[in-house]
Structure 1
């Protein structure tokens, strides 16, 4: 094989690689444009749900199964009652990140912990991390997310037990300090 054949093969290999890169970039661009069109819905629930999905890494299962313009029409993990989203289950969706603050954008809702119409927000078996604020017991299921740390809430009963413990210990500590100071004073007086 001559030197010109070798250089021609190298140039063809470079051209093939360049074509593959261009094709890949084209596919990615078309997919992003398609996704952006889907994100620009006239239904604020759709826009909010897609924003939430973006915040948690837009899991593939959601990208594949969230079709149409009405999230109450068979969207994966979304359950509705009379057109109101009541349940969001993101079980084993390979989500990453934090629980999105965009949940508060759902129509007529103000805070995720105070969503009176939200029955279940199931985020089990994903890769969420950080602190999770306390919800009503039936709202969040976070098992299978070892990185999640629940905020420790001290109940009223805990405060009562802490108060009782301090009530018993404090007089004893005061007595010990008093006797220690008195005995020290007496021994220092006796030594002089």
Structure 2
């Protein structure tokens, strides 16, 4: 098995740098709550010198147990809706903000990167995202990405960075 560090792709770093500059200009601080991306969003954000000025941290909560213990996702939510759902990513994003008290924005990502694990209701490539801002409603949306596991994860990282930038610009 070969290991490719795709999170350093130029297009991902370009999106991360734009978000880094936006956060810095607005005095923002971000925290990530990641499942299928495994910390790649936080890694892209911390690629740049000075990233500690705008990045509070990243929480990789791959298992449901970690989603519950670290982010406070409820057992009921996971049982009723599953880990890949709007309800779960909303609780993940809210939990990340609660854990990182200095952050003012969070993003949560949970999906099915493949190649297995999909179902007719939740196919491989389905990724749910949520963004949370303090004192504002948390927003969730999903995307269905095509490609290999690596491609799905890369697309999810790019989309998460874009969502954060869009949310901060609203």
Please tell me the TM-score bracket, short chain as reference. under 0.3
Hey, which of these two has a bigger chunk of strand by percent?
Answer: 2
Higher helix share: 1
TM-score normalised per structure 2? 0.25
TM-score (norm 1): 0.23
Q: Give the number of the structure whose alpha-carbon radius of gyration is greater.
A: 1
Considering Cα pairs closer than 8 Å and 6+ residues apart, tell me whether 1 or 2 has the greater RCO. 2
